[in-house]
Amino acid sequence: MDPFNQIWESSRTNDYSWGYPAVVWAGVGVLIALSLIRHNVLRRILKVIAIGGLVMTATQWSSSEIEEKWRIRAEWADTHPAEMTEQGYEALTVDGANRTLGPLIYGFQAGLIFVGVAAVLFVIRLAIRKQPMKPLVEAPPEIETEVATDLHTSDNPYHPPADSA
């Protein structure tokens, strides 16, 4: 493997590579924590705001990672012109779509992950809410009362039944 291909492969992991996965995992944790809020409207608003902010942060981190990858490659090519081939120079200039679309694709992927996690948490919350709650203390058995069945009744609907005492 020539030196440029080594730099090409090694630049895929750089100082910013940890940011995107960290944002995704932290976002999952934030969404789980927000699921503990009891007030429905507040919880939903905070989740929408969190998802929006997390998607922007994930997009920014992926953009930084991609820019750093291309900076490393270009810097190496500038400092080692004797080792560069025509294919190497072409590879440095042809893949501009990666710089433009890469962050958007990663941001969309993060958005799908966050919306998916929020949907799963919503389903779990519904399942938990529909389960009947067990009482902490058993209620005493009901006291049976005697009901009088031989009460004198009147045909007059305004007349209360007579007491047969």
Q: Is residue 158 part of a domain?
A: no
Closest by Cα among 56, 41, 27, 23 to 117:
27
Q: What is the pLDDT of residues 114-154, one digit of tens each?
A: 999 999 999 999 998 887 766 667 666 666 666 666 666 66
112: enclosing H helix or E strand: helix 96-130
Residue of higher predicted confidence among 95 and 24: 24
Q: Does residue 138 form part of some domain?
A: no
Q: Residue 99, CB half-sphere, CA atoms under 13 Å: how many?
A: 12
Give the residue from 154, 113, 142 showing the smallest Cα distance to 25: 113
- Looking at residue 87, what is its pLDDT? 83
d(CA 58, CA 60): 5
89 is a domain residue:
yes
Q: Which residue has the tokens 């995992």?
A: 25
103 domain-assigned: yes
Domains of the chain: total: 1
**pLDDT at res. 31:** 97
Comparison of pLDDT for 83 and 45, the residue scoring more? 45
Report if residue 71 sits inside a domain: yes
* Alpha-carbon span 104 to 91, nearest angstrom: 21
* Residue 152 counted as domain residue: no
Using a pLDDT cut of 90, give the percent of the chain over it.
Answer: 47
SS3 at position 115: helix
Question: Residue 83: which pLDDT band, with cuts at 50, 70 and 90?
Answer: confident
The residue-averaged pLDDT of 44-54 equals 97
Computed over every residue of the chain, the mean pLDDT equals 85
**90 within some domain:** yes
pLDDT at residue 57, as a whole number: 97
pLDDT in tens, 50-81: 999 999 999 999 999 999 998 888 898 888 88
**Is residue 164 in some structural domain?**
no
The boundaries of the domain holding residue 71 are: 3-129
